[in-house]
Amino acid sequence: MRWNIWAPPYVPTSGGIRVLYRLAWWLNQLGESVAIVFFGSILVEDGVAVYPEIVLGNPWGAAQVIRYVMNVPGRLGGETEYAASEIVIAQQARWQPETAKAAGHDVEVVYFSCIDPAIFYPGADEGRVCDAIFVYKGAPEYEAAGRACHEVPGIPMIPIGGGMSDANLAALLRRCDRFVTYDHQTSLMAEARICGASVCLADRTGLTVYSPTHFMHEVDHERNVEQWSSPAPVLRMVALARERLGTT
């Protein structure tokens, strides 16, 4: 059985893309045949297509679709209702209620970490000499706020862009006292927490201190090490696909 994963080119600051590439890595480790495809079209009649929620329908004509939902269905594009033939899975518990509504039935959560604990780990508190700001999908609120960066006098505020490598991003977060983000869905919130920075959610009304309820669970380095290392979530996804296709 071949797995075809719809994913754009790798961008370190996009949590959704990182999840899809990590899924491909795990499938490969488990001995599955897997490919990441974005541009162009392919025919995968005898395989599985993994589409994130932003993809409309089944453009590859796959025998089986896994809809891996990493946001509220339809919020960033894609369908608001999913075909009964699809295996619909929520990537995090916070997406489960809306995903179940779009699927028309209860859905499972399959979560695995895409945050490499060898790169993202806590830093020394005494080394925190700057703050960082991230906008990305929060651009409308950033503009509405007059591009406010919420600087603290005497503390450098460093913008985080899409071209930063994982290693450089992690090194910056270990130097940060605060991570200010207008994008309230970014995985960088979890990475900042793991690296020891406090997280502030920014919008046109000001700042709100991050709460663990944004991810339905607390985020810490020890938990991330466990979730990074366990194949169990992806084994569950494979089992669901094989059960539906009637293969072993």
One DSSP character per residue, 156-180 reads -EEE--TT--HHHHHHHHHHEEEEE
**pLDDT over 70 (residue 65):** yes
**pLDDT over 70 (residue 50):** yes
Give the Cα separation of 114 and 189 in Å (integer): 13
Band of residue 54 on the pLDDT scale cut at 50, 70, 90: very high
pLDDT at 43: 58
- Percent of the chain predicted with pLDDT > 90: 67
Question: For the residues 159-166, what does the mean pLDDT come to?
Answer: 82
**pLDDT over 90 (residue 108):** yes
**pLDDT over 60 (residue 26):** yes
**pLDDT over 90 (residue 173):** yes
**pLDDT over 90 (residue 138):** yes
pLDDT at 163: 75
Question: For the residues 231-236, what does the mean pLDDT come to?
Answer: 96
More confident residue, 92 or 44: 92
Classify burial at 142, counting beta carbons within 10 Å of its beta carbon; exposed 0-12, middle 13-18, buried 19 or more. buried
Q: What would the DSSP string read from start to end of the chain?
A: -EEEEE-PSP-TT-HHHHHHHHHHHHHHHTT-EEEEE-SS----TTSEEEEETTS-S-TT--SEEEEEE-SSTTSSSS-SS--TTSEEEESSGGGHHHHHHHHTS--EE-----S-TTTS----GGG--EEEEE-GGGHHHHHHTTS---PPTTS-EEE--TT--HHHHHHHHHHEEEEEES-TT-THHHHHHHTT-EEEEEETTEEEE--GGGTTS---HHHHHHHHH--HHHHHHHHHHHHHHT--
**pLDDT over 90 (residue 215):** no
pLDDT in tens, 181-209: 999 888 888 899 999 999 999 999 999 88
Band of residue 180 on the pLDDT scale cut at 50, 70, 90: very high
**pLDDT over 70 (residue 210):** yes
Number of CB atoms found within 10 A of residue 54's CB: 18
pTM: 0.84
Band of residue 212 on the pLDDT scale cut at 50, 70, 90: low
pLDDT in tens, 35-48: 998 865 565 556 89
Summary mean pLDDT of the chain = 89
pLDDT at 12: 76
**pLDDT over 80 (residue 121):** yes
Helix axes 232-245, 15-29, angle to 10 degrees: 70
**pLDDT over 70 (residue 218):** no
